[in-house]
Homo-oligomer: A and B are copies of this chain.
């Protein structure tokens, strides 16, 4: 336990050191009488490639530089330095903020951003430069998801040091926010994680005791899982050695919600450990729609277009299940929601469907 806590504090020190390193570099360049200049990997689409070994998108070799010598660079350079300073303030004071907040906070320092898009970009620059995610700098998104299950966490946020919570304490689930994601994972009796696209099914699973029956930690993604939730899933997998199963609607959008948890997004090619390459998409598959004769809606044009895009996406090449299911979706031209199992009664999805989907990933690939 002490070891885990040490690891969390160590991470925080690394983040602060990363920011200070950036600051020191500028100071020493100034001391040497040269214009401050920084280099970082380019995030241009031609410099983003899928890495089959890391099983996520990464940035290539091409760098961009920003120099205070260049009149066009002075504004973004200054913004970046301010952003590092503000992030350092947030991180050391342990206050959280949002992308929106950062945009407005800049005005308190007479730092101008034309619009929020500009400040968002600079925050991504800082991520690229330091290799840390904005969540490490205490800049969180607005979206929220939730967790429930037999896991004891130990808080590290101010006012809660030394306090623990078992995540079955509140049967509606607790929010996945800064306090949760910064906590240590002390102890669990669960042997798997089930991440669920929709809150409704998350609630059903709690009511039907899935956490006990299947020894599972349940996560409600709330649609596309926010980055902090994806990196928390990664921690559950790595630190507690738990396999991760993902349940989504049976359509290209649900499929991609699972894929982003597994392989990440191109937008985060400059970061690591936001994704869980060993996580498994457990359904709803096109073949489930056929096998279980689920109530369906027809695929519309946008769905079909999206399926053709996904078929070509490098993330969909590493497991034959993806290609097989994409083909079947295109053949049956139908989609189904998770709730569609209710046609067989409210508990069918838990009693009949789920157990077939929780076989260990290794066996499933036979």
Give A contacts to B, CB under 8 Å.
Answer: 95-98, 100-101, 103-105, 107-108, 140, 142-144, 146, 155, 157-160, 165, 169-180, 198-200, 203-204, 207, 209, 222, 295, 337, 339-346
Contact between B108 and A343, CB atoms less than 8 A apart: yes
Determine the distance from Cα of A348 to Cα of B170 in the docked complex, in whole angstroms. 32
Contact between B203 and A178, CB atoms less than 8 A apart: yes
Q: Report if A170-B172 is in contact (Cβ < 8 Å); known contacts: A104-B340, A337-B100, A343-B107.
A: no
Contact between B178 and A170, CB atoms less than 8 A apart: no
Give 13 A-B contacts (CB < 8 Å), ordered by A residue. A101-B346, A103-B339, A104-B343, A105-B346, A108-B343, A144-B222, A157-B171, A165-B170, A169-B169, A170-B179, A172-B176, A173-B175, A178-B203
Closest to A155 in B: B171
Chain copies in the assembled complex: 2
Contact between A174 and B176, CB atoms less than 8 A apart: no
Determine the distance from Cα of A128 to Cα of B45 in the docked complex, in whole angstroms. 56
Q: Besides the contacts A104-B340, A146-B175, what 7 more A-B pairs have beta carbons closer than 8 Å?
A: A104-B295, A105-B342, A108-B343, A142-B199, A144-B199, A169-B169, A170-B174
Contact between B98 and A339, CB atoms less than 8 A apart: yes
Question: What residues of B have a CB within 8 angstroms of the CB of A100 in the complex?
Answer: 200, 337, 339
Determine the distance from Cα of A275 to Cα of B337 in the docked complex, in whole angstroms. 33
Closest to A337 in B: B100
Determine the distance from Cα of A174 to Cα of B171 in the docked complex, in whole angstroms. 9
The smallest C-beta distance from A135 to any residue of chain B, in angstroms, reads: 13
Determine the distance from Cα of A103 to Cα of B204 in the docked complex, in whole angstroms. 16
Contact between A198 and B339, CB atoms less than 8 A apart: no
Contact partner of A204 (CB less than 8 A), chosen from B96, B158, B200, B342, is: B96
The 7 closest A-B pairs by CB, nearest first: A172-B177, A107-B343, A104-B342, A172-B175, A171-B179, A98-B200, A105-B342
Interface centre among A97, A143, A203 (most CB of B within 10 A): A203
